[in-house]
A = this chain, B = another copy of it.
């Protein structure tokens, strides 16, 4: 297991962590100030800045990317599926332009939440079938673009509205089915927030293996959680044994960035430099 206690060379910042304190260019400048070497930007932030300007800002700062957030939201009624497909193809094109190593997929929940305007449904099994089929379709385009796709299982609390892939096992079952040779085109993005509770987690990390462990995200689970979406914790402030999960991922050979992604009304209310300083300190002591 890598020693993170002396530096933060393996810290990546998911830009949603400070999305309310500045635009993408401001975040990139702040990363440069704090010696942060990598980011994972969100599409809405890239769009607000303009793709070309975002590409230039990333290059000028000498930043790497640890992912691109996000593709997915596949579940839709028939009238919205082409929109979903085309939107995901654009995500791949943007990821290429930015030099991302993968597109992170948040697969969508029920159609009325995944693609608003879709006819409402309670059929989660049907949603899961749709996700499987849509990833199969997206994978063709992604392979042609040489852009890996990383399925992110989301906590079961988001099953209805954000992602009906809720365990690492489910994500890997899709990988097995659609990329049985483990070509590197399809894998998983694991965020401790979503998976820490899973009694099957360690066997599934071993099952994933290095080839399919494409991203590793950290934050913490607070007790109480005041808001299920926007009350994630800074590493060390909650109940997740983060080092044990990182040890399991690294035991498979994962050697990439430890990406900090915190959706938090509390942390969004603090100055960007204070948040980044805290991220760096906690990366050293609690990850």
| A229, B223: Cα distance in complex, Å | 12
Q: Which of B110, B167, B221 contacts A239 (CB 8 A)?
A: B110
B residues less than 8 Å from A221 (CB atoms)? 160
Are A122 and B160 in contact (CB-based, < 8 A)? no
| A124, B241: Cα distance in complex, Å | 9
| A159, B197: Cα distance in complex, Å | 6
Are A166 and B197 in contact (CB-based, < 8 A)? yes
Q: Which of B123, B196, B197 contacts A241 (CB 8 A)?
A: B123
Are B161 and A122 in contact (CB-based, < 8 A)? no
Are B196 and A124 in contact (CB-based, < 8 A)? yes
| A223, B239: Cα distance in complex, Å | 26
Say whether, besides A157-B157, A239-B110, A167 and B199 are in contact (CB < 8 Å).
yes
For the complex formed, measure the closest distance between the CB of A218 and the CB atoms of chain B, giving whole angstroms: 14
Q: Which of B124, B156, B223 contacts A160 (CB 8 A)?
A: B223
**Can you tell how many copies of this chain the complex includes?**
2
Q: Which of B160, B161, B166, B198 contacts A199 (CB 8 A)?
A: B166
| A229, B159: Cα distance in complex, Å | 17
Say whether, besides A110-B239, A166-B199, A198-B156, A225 and B223 are in contact (CB < 8 Å).
no
Nearest B residue to A159, CB-CB = B197
Q: Does A180 contact B (CB under 8 A)?
A: no
A positions within 8 Å CB-CB of B: 110, 113, 122-124, 128, 155-157, 159-161, 164, 166-167, 170, 196-199, 221, 223-225, 228-229, 238-241
Write 10 A-B pairs (CB below 8 A) sorted by A numbering: A113-B223, A122-B241, A124-B196, A156-B157, A157-B157, A160-B223, A160-B238, A164-B197, A225-B228, A228-B228
